[in-house]
Amino acid sequence: MDLALLESTLAELGEPAYRARQIWEWTAQGADGYAQMTNLPVRLRDALSERVPFSTMTVEREARSADGTIKVLLSTHDGRPIEAVLMRYRDGRHSLCLSSQSGCPLTCAFCATGAMRFGRNLTASEILDQALHFRRLGRVDHAVFMGMGEPMINLANVLAACRRLPDLGIGHRHTAISTVGWIPGITTLAAEPMPLRLALSLHAADPALREELMPVNARYPLAEVIAACEAFYAAKRRMVFVEYVMLAGVNDSVGQARALADLLDPRMFKVNMIPYNPTDSTFTGSSPRAIAAFAAELERRGLSATVRLTRGRDIDAACGQLAARV
């Protein structure tokens, strides 16, 4: 819902300010239209149906995985494609993977989104409408900004959406914002009162290799990115999650695990190893044995390490696979 349009329309209709709060409460609780809002006059519900679209997005297609993951392809009013994902876990979590941009301008070599044509930043309402789409399907309680785009480039709108997520059931401590190392955004997030989590998309401890995989490293060198993350920890006292996609023969040797452990302070960082999910790139995923050896070396050196549970791979909904196709 375009909340700014809603407020201006209510003002034009001469409605009291509390009407916006009523409408938002219904929307955040999963209502799928104005007709359900029984504490609003019928004439107002009719007027809003004509003047304020209930969502800024149009649902184009939906795919459902055998593991319960749901991916939705949405389009904006100007035809920009967006994908968002709902992941259901056995421990009861219902976690959303949200997009902050249509496409991505940063062209990481292993990521399908980076191969898309970049469209534009999403508005706060467009980000929020992804979450609202899944809220209408049921309970949601976690969110990660790991979908399409670099959230730190669009941080003002991402934060505006985050301020509303608790109304849907997603607390700030259960919301993580991922970045490739966009230092101005990390610095801004460190000063943000909301206790949001930070995730760093790292993928190589060697700067030269990281630059091959992630061209942004030329703009924001690895040493400066790590320093910014350490400053985030100092300001927030919240550990930084390091995302590390495991690429066979590229970044998965035990020696590279040692280099990663040397780079990261175990008091400030946790490593989340991500099995590579197939895209149109030339990479292949590391073997289970290589992943286990990598994790064991990190743990031996005192660095906490986990392997991400892959969700939605059969519908191209897993990490790195979002490319506006279902």
- Whether pLDDT at 228 is above 60: yes
Q: Which of 209, 217, 222 is nearest to 283 (CA)?
A: 209
For 309, the domain range is: 55-315
Distances (CA, A) of 238 to 46, 180, 190, 224: 47, 18, 10, 19
Q: What single-letter amino acid sits at 32? A: D
In a domain, 321, yes or no: no
The answer to whether the CB of 34 falls within 8 A of the CB of 24 is no
299 is catalytic: no
With vertex at residue 171, the alpha carbon angle to CA 175 and CA 120, rounded to the nearest 5 degrees, is 45
CATH of the domain at 38: 1.10.150.530
Domain boundary among 19, 35, 54: 54
Calpha distance 204→251 (Å, rounded): 6
In a domain, 324, yes or no: no
Is 74 found in the same domain as 222? yes
Calpha distance 10→280 (Å, rounded): 48
pLDDT at 110: 84
Whole-number average pLDDT of the chain: 92
Q: Domain total for the chain?
A: 2
Task: State the pLDDT confidence band at 321, using cuts at 50, 70 and 90.
Answer: very low
Calpha distance 154→103 (Å, rounded): 13
Calpha distance 212→92 (Å, rounded): 38
Q: What single-letter amino acid sits at 284? A: T
- Whether pLDDT at 247 is above 50: yes
- Among 83, 126, 150, 297, which one carries the catalytic annotation? 83
Backbone phi, psi, residue 5, to 5°: -65, -40
DSSP letter, residue 118:
P
117 vs 265 pLDDT, higher one: 265
Which of the residue ranges 22-31, 111-120, 159-168, 194-203 would you say has the lowest mean pLDDT?
111-120
Is 158 found in the same domain as 76? yes
Is 62 found in the same domain as 44? no
In a domain, 322, yes or no: no
pLDDT at 326: 41
302 vs 90 pLDDT, higher one: 302
- Looking at the chain, the whole-number percentage of residues with pLDDT higher than 90 is 83
Q: In what order do the strands lie in the sheet with 70-75?
A: 58-64, 70-75, 81-88, 94-97, 142-145, 175-179, 197-201, 240-246, 269-275, 305-307
In a domain, 254, yes or no: yes
The answer to whether the CB of 152 falls within 8 A of the CB of 120 is no
In a domain, 326, yes or no: no
Calpha distance 296→218 (Å, rounded): 31
CA 201 to chain centroid, in Å, comes to 12
97 is catalytic: no
- Whether pLDDT at 202 is above 70: yes
H/E element, 35: none
pLDDT at 197: 98
In a domain, 185, yes or no: yes
- Integer-rounded Cα Rg, in Å, for the chain is 21
CATH of the domain at 170: 3.20.20.70
How many CB atoms within 10 Å of residue 126? 25
Domain boundary among 54, 78, 99: 54
Is 59 found in the same domain as 49? no
Is 63 found in the same domain as 47? no
In a domain, 320, yes or no: no
Q: What single-letter amino acid sits at 290? A: A
In a domain, 325, yes or no: no
Torsion of CA 226, 227, 233, 236, to 10 degrees: -120
Is 261 found in the same domain as 193? yes
Is 61 found in the same domain as 49? no
H/E element, 70: strand 70-75
- Whether pLDDT at 323 is above 90: no
Mean pLDDT to the nearest integer, 242-265? 96
For the chain, count helices (H), then strands (E): 10, 10
Is 85 found in the same domain as 2? no
Calpha distance 185→152 (Å, rounded): 5
Is 294 found in the same domain as 169? yes
Calpha distance 179→242 (Å, rounded): 10
Is 291 found in the same domain as 172? yes
Task: State the pLDDT confidence band at 312, using cuts at 50, 70 and 90.
Answer: low
Is 78 found in the same domain as 21? no
Is 124 found in the same domain as 66? yes
The answer to whether the CB of 194 falls within 8 A of the CB of 163 is yes
- Among 97, 104, 162, 319, which one carries the catalytic annotation? 319
Which of the residue ranges 35-39, 106-110, 124-128, 224-228 would you say has the lowest mean pLDDT?
106-110
DSSP per residue, 121-145: BPPHHHHHHHHHHHHTTS---EEEE
Domain boundary among 35, 54, 73: 54
Calpha distance 267→230 (Å, rounded): 10
